[in-house]
Amino acid sequence: MSARFDDRLIVALDVPTALAGLELARRLGPTVHFYKIGLGMLTGGGLALANELKQDFGKRIFLDMKLFDIGATVEAAVRGLAQYEIDFLTVHGDPHVVRAAMTGAGSKGPKILAVTVLTSLDRADLDAAQIRPGSMEEIVLARAAAALDAGADGVIASPQEAAAIRALPQGPTTSSSAAPSGPPLIRDGRQRRSSRQSADRRDRCGITPPATETRPRTAPAGRRRRPSRPGRFSSVSAGNPAAPARTG
């Protein structure tokens, strides 16, 4: 009988290094099947960590890069990231960015999730950035609708706007990823626009563990890792947490 996982729970690996992330994933073991790796981990071996969790441990990966650039650059970046076989990838919700990301992902690439407005921002931040007038909810809804119209597979939003986004004609849902009935809606709880309402249990929710220093464990004497297959990326646990390079 195969194990069943609740993919609505996504644990954010917001730890200092890829080795610390790998150690945390090992401690959590089969209780967690879905992990988020953010931009802050990128220079600390985040892509190598994503590759190892995916290939060696069979985990699902949410790569939270929030890409934003001209279309050609976004398309090329997404096409390159798709080789890691990640499941979700975030981009900013501007329509030209979403369209480019969808092209780069192709039919077999990651699901593209659009960020509406960063959940740490409030109206004063938008004013400082010369963003058009309007309430936060109005702007979030407009950006969510535009991103979904551009082809996004789902959107990222704060709990405060989640219900309104679900009511859009484009219809993002909060169903389990095992049997989705529409574009997913992921609630980001790390926001200034807080909500006192408890999260709907059907929503995917992110958990961020406290950042702790983890000392790498030395492999026992005589232990041998199986060799990398041709075309595999370098391994975190093999002692190279830097950005992966092709081997073999």
Longest distance between any two alpha carbons in the chain, whole Å: 65
Answer yes or no: are the C-beta atoms of 133 and 156 closer than 8 Å.
Answer: no
* Cβ-based burial of 40 (10 A; exposed 0-12, middle 13-18, buried ≥19): middle
Pairing of strands 34-38, 154-157: unpaired
Residue 142: phi and psi, rounded to 5, are -65, -40
Element (H, E) at 160: helix 159-166
Answer yes or no: are the C-beta atoms of 119 and 192 closer than 8 Å.
Answer: yes
Q: How far is CA 133 from the centre of its chain?
A: 29
Answer yes or no: are the C-beta atoms of 53 and 75 closer than 8 Å.
Answer: no
Answer yes or no: are the C-beta atoms of 120 and 192 closer than 8 Å.
Answer: yes
The angle formed by the CA atoms of residues 160, 162 and 167, to the nearest 5 degrees, is: 130
Catalytic residues: 66
- Residue 202 contacts by C-beta under 8 Å, 6 or more apart in sequence? 8, 174, 175, 176
Report the alpha-carbon distance of residue 111 to residue 90 in Å, rounded.
Answer: 8
Residue 228: phi and psi, rounded to 5, are -70, 145
